[in-house]
Chains A and B, each alone.
Chain A
Amino acid sequence: MNFSPVHFIAVPLFAAFLIPIVGRFSKEAVKLIPGLVLLYLSYVAISLYPIALQKPIVEIIAGFKPPFGISLYFGPLAAFLVTMVMLIGLVIWLYSYKFIIREPLEKYYMLFMLVIAGATGIMITGDIFNMFVFLEITSIAAYSLTAFLRDKDGAEAAFKYLLIGSFSSTFYLLAVMLIYANTGTLNIADIAAKMQTVPNQPKIFIMILFLVGFGIESELFPLNGWAPDAYSQAPSPIGGVFGGIVVKASTYAMMRFAFVLFNFHSMFELILVLGVITMLIAEMSAMRQQQIKRMLAFSSIGQMGLIMIAFGVGTDASVRAALFQVFNHAVIKTLLFLAAGYLVFHSGSKKISALDGLGHNKPITSFFFALGALAIIGLPPFSGFWSKLYILTSVAKGGFLASVVLILFSGIIEAIYYLRVVGRLYFKKDVSQDNVRRTPISGLVAMGILAVVILYVGLYPHQIIDLIKPAAHDLVDKAAYIKYGLLH
């Protein structure tokens, strides 16, 4: 049996079904299984990568050729994103190993693995209804993980997320219904080929439904009310999962649809404007936050706005810059959430003011947080510098000078609130009493890996750009997507 993209779905599902039985015998094995699965899938992703670069892998499910059956589309873009998701998932698992001590452990690991499987499914499926199923898997697992700590705030955040998220899936489903009614097919490549036969009124309506559906999950203003609560109430590693994996999956879906199905000008302009508004409002809200995880959540929304701006410009260079930022944001924001998790744990409070002087008491965790903060602001020599630079130049070349000014302006706000926290860590007197508890090795290793990636990409950005070029091409080239997707 050779490796194939369906492993990304089948293996984690099998493991998730297996865990309850294993859990009856050994708790340690339950903790190990997700790590082994993610390790295996990272290996699969890396070994499929060169094949996907030559020609997109289109895998048929159940032996029925598209458009009659479901197919998976594993092109350079999917390979790039899936590899990223698997490696970040692996790091977050490593961090969770000692961080999550609350029962029911096996349910945490099952939900964790399923949320990753669902997000991967969104990225590799070539079928629009199949994507709905994976969207459901991802979001329902995300709701439960938000309330995993079983406190009042968590329940409230999860309920909010559930209500808004249900809107997202309902709108998406309505859009799928209209598409099927108008084109008679569910295969994305087939729909793309038939999209020009659809009259304008339903087409625009479908576009709006998709935009709302994915806008909710991609945290676009004004649909992102769920995000700050969900990020701050969920266990810290899950904040990383949301920012690094879940949001990226729906951003992928939105972009794929924008380029393949609704390839007209006003769509991109709309995304650009929404991106600018999202970024400005989120960065200004982040400035006012008193709690560190809420601040990171708003910063995450702001970064999504930045990514949307770059996608909205719609040129080859800007799409590349956007994908680079997707990668950087996934890595850096995960590091920030993981570090913040232990900072909150050590200071005993979610408040920023409780972090005073923690840099002396807990030097390594604080160092990782500071490194992440400097990287996300976009200081050289970290990876965030390059992607922000590329975004700025590509947006300027696209002729959107006002957006450039606004990006720089929000960059300054971002620098202020991040540096304020870093300053508190290092230049205030130590007030914490926690000298006993240490950050466990697994947590430090997890953060260390991410920090090394940030530095490495910052010093050698061309290695990652070589991978992004074919991925961006895969996203932009509609004709190739139709050709390969329908196996012509």
Chain B
Amino acid sequence: MRKATAIIILALVGYYFLSVFLTVPFGEKRNNVGQYYLHNTVRETGAVNSVTAIVVSYRGFDTLGEVTVLFIASLGLGAILFDKKGKKRRLQHASLIVRVGAHMLYPLIVLLGAYVFVHGHLTPGGGFQGGAIIATGVLLMFISYRSFETSHKALTYIESIAGMTFVLTGLSGLIWGNSFLQNVLPLGEPGRLISAGIIPIIYIAIGFKVGAELTGLLDNMLKTIKSD
């Protein structure tokens, strides 16, 4: 009975959701802020990747918030799983093939991640994606080598310095410009590696930060056994 009621209510709510969301026009050209971004991105921000320009420049404040959300998630997990004595990972025995393969792929994955976030204003991807790629490389090492360790001290420093870089870049706009996160550097020639003002600086900081945070998260979650 309870299950039947739940299913009926769910179906009703689902129908209502669907009927409202179907009224949303999809893919139409309309006169809204989206069109403005498409036409003015390169001139105003110097970035040829409009998605990056919106994420880091027009709505950079949101991105600062999102970086903080990830920071809090990793921080909160660290607080909840905190153990004074430290923990270690469950025993794992990866085969020789996996270990050798991981060893060869690891530097390449990190390189790819770095490439993605350094070129965030030119090609698809950016700081979040690059950081996530780097963390997958570390994860590969974690599951292949039982003894592979990351330095917590280094991770903390990377996280903190990258976060402060983001805020200080924002404050520089307040000091030398008119508003927080305003671009204070020359825009350069669109399409070149060094262009788009502060966007690459912010994306590199985000790349380091996200990479370090996700690595810390994985490390915290994989370490389940108390060490004596």
Contact = CB atoms under 8 A, between A and B. Distances in A.
Interface residues on A, range: 35 or more
A229 B109 CA distance: 44
Contacts of B159: 17, 20
B32 A140 contact: no
B39 to A, nearest CB: 11
Given A68-B33, A129-B62, A186-B33, A103 B84 contact: yes
B60 A62 contact: yes
Contacts of B77: 144
Nearest to B34: A184
B60 A184 contact: no
Given A144-B72, A184-B34, A20 B156 contact: yes
Given A63-B179, A136-B65, A185-B33, A178 B24 contact: yes
Interface in B76-93: 76-80, 82, 84
Contacts of B171: 10, 14
A288 B209 CA distance: 48
A64 B34 CA distance: 14
Interface in B173-228: 173-175, 177-183
Contact of B174 (A6, A148, A150): A6
22 contacts: A1-B175, A10-B170, A13-B64, A14-B164, A14-B171, A18-B160, A21-B157, A21-B161, A60-B179, A62-B57, A62-B179, A62-B182, A104-B78, A111-B76, A133-B62, A137-B69, A140-B69, A140-B73, A147-B79, A181-B24, A184-B32, A184-B34
A205 interface: yes
B65 A134 contact: yes
A137 B71 CA distance: 9
Interface in B38-87: 44, 57-62, 64-66, 68-69, 71-73, 75-80, 82, 84
A141 interface: yes
A152 interface: no
Given A10-B180, A107-B82, A186-B33, A130 B76 contact: no
B69 A136 contact: yes
Contacts of B59: 69-70, 129-130
Contacts of B57: 62, 64
A130 B66 CA distance: 10
Contacts of A270: none
B79 A108 contact: yes
Contacts of B2: none
B174 A69 contact: no
A107 B79 CA distance: 6
B148 interface: no
A201 interface: yes
B20 interface: yes
Given A62-B58, A69-B58, A136-B65, A143 B31 contact: no
Interface residues of B, number: 59
Contacts of B65: 121, 130, 133-134, 136-137
B76 A17 contact: no
Interface in A41-91: 59-64, 67-70
B71 to A, nearest CB: 8
Nearest to B31: A184
Interface of A: 1, 4, 6, 9-10, 13-14, 16-21, 24, 59-64, 67-70, 103-104, 107-108, 110-111, 114, 121, 129-130, 133-134, 136-137, 140-141, 143-144, 147-148, 150, 155, 158, 178, 181-186, 199, 201-202, 205
Contacts of A121: 65
A136 B30 CA distance: 30
Contact of A114 (B68, B80, B168, B177): B68
A133 B75 contact: no
A141 B164 contact: no
Given A24-B153, A62-B173, A107-B78, 7 more contacts: A10-B167, A16-B71, A63-B183, A64-B58, A104-B78, A133-B69, A158-B80
Contacts of B167: 10, 13-14, 17
Which residue of A4, A63, A201 has the most chain B CB atoms within 10 A of its CB atom? A63
B145 to A, nearest CB: 27
Contacts of B30: 184
B23 A13 contact: no
Contacts of A14: 163-164, 167-168, 171
A114 B72 contact: yes
A186 B164 CA distance: 28
A178 to B, nearest CB: 7
Contacts of A110: 75
B61 A130 contact: yes
